Amino acid sequence: MKRVLEAAANLGLAAGAVVLLWISVVRPFFLEPKSAETRWPTEVTLDGAPTLGSRSARVALVEYSDFECPFCARFARTTLQSLEKEYVATGKVLLSFRHVPLADRHPHAVAAAQAAECARRQDHFWQMHDLLFSGQADLDRDGFANDARSLGLDAGRFSKCLDGEAAARVAAESADARRLRISATPTFLFGVLSDGTVRVATGVAGAKPIGEFRAILDRLLLQPSAQFVE
């Protein structure tokens, strides 16, 4: 009798494990909606966006970022430098930047985005990009003015731009990001570049290590006309 009871108990445990497996793994696989990775936009335009690298590159990487976001700053100080050296400077990949200032969490993000936009209008976006991410403790009017001065920008033009000229551009990019369901920073879209449009293959949210970027970019570079979803 004891052996019968033990066998029944073991059978019950096995049945429970099967049910748990169904609930936690199998059933969601069939019934849950697609994950965030499968809902990336099919294509995005580079119109008006600052870019770095060759416009004749076959592959593009579009970054959606916030200058007050600590994870964005970490990416800019680490992974981005490797990407620039390995892919952008070699002409393989075109890098593009889009503003997504998360004002509800980062009170200086909108102003910082506007400062970067004002620097872009004087052909110094990427230099200002680096200064803003390296000096997140000074994202205020005085800090922006000091950055502009260190870059040799026209102080009058820069100040006038900060007074409102850049606001519409930053607001439009924020609205476009919401339309594309991009709400986390940093977020990256990878795709094939054609006539200023990126045919999106996949995306990544978060300041991931360089290895994740290499895996996606290398795969795209080998099959530049193919689309895939990670």
pLDDT at 202: 96
- The answer to whether the CB of 63 falls within 8 A of the CB of 73 is no
Q: Is 227 contained in some domain?
A: no
Tens of pLDDT, residues 165-219: 999 999 999 999 999 999 899 999 999 999 999 999 999 999 999 999 999 999 9
Q: Which two tokens stand for residue 76?
A: 């800019």
Do 80 and 171 fall within a single domain? yes
Distances in whole angstroms, Cα of residue 229 to Cα of each of 58, 83, 113, 190: 18, 21, 30, 10
Q: Are 76 and 132 in a shared domain?
A: yes
Which of these ranges, 26-30, 93-97, 139-143, has the smallest mean pLDDT?
26-30
Whether residues 20 and 118 share a domain: the answer is no
Same domain, yes or no, for 147 and 206?
Answer: yes
- Whether 18 and 89 share a structural domain: no
Closest by CA to 191, choosing from 53, 39, 43, 38, is 43
Q: Which positions ≥6 away from 187 have C-beta within 8 Å?
A: 63, 64, 100, 203, 204, 205, 206
Structural domain range at position 185: 37-222
Give me the pLDDT at residue 26, please.
36
> Both 90 and 174 in a single domain?
yes
Residue 228 lies in a domain: no
Share of the chain above pLDDT 90, in %: 79
| 123 and 158 share one domain | yes
196 with 121, same domain?
yes
Q: Give residue 183's pLDDT.
A: 87
Are residues 26 and 90 part of one domain?
Answer: no
- Tokens encoding 173: 């990019």
Q: Are 147 and 132 in contact (CB under 8 A)?
A: yes
Domain count for the chain: 2
- pLDDT tens, position by position, 82-91: 999 999 999 9
**pTM, rounded to two decimals:** 0.80
CA distance 139 to 103: 13
Residue 178 lies in a domain: yes
Residues 92 and 23 in one domain: no
What pLDDT, in 10s, does the model give residues 143-173? 999 999 999 999 999 999 999 999 999 999 9
Token digits of residue 36 = 């965030």
Same domain as 184, residue 106? yes
Same domain, 111 and 175: yes
Express each pLDDT in 10-33 by its tens digit.
Answer: 544 444 443 443 333 333 333 333
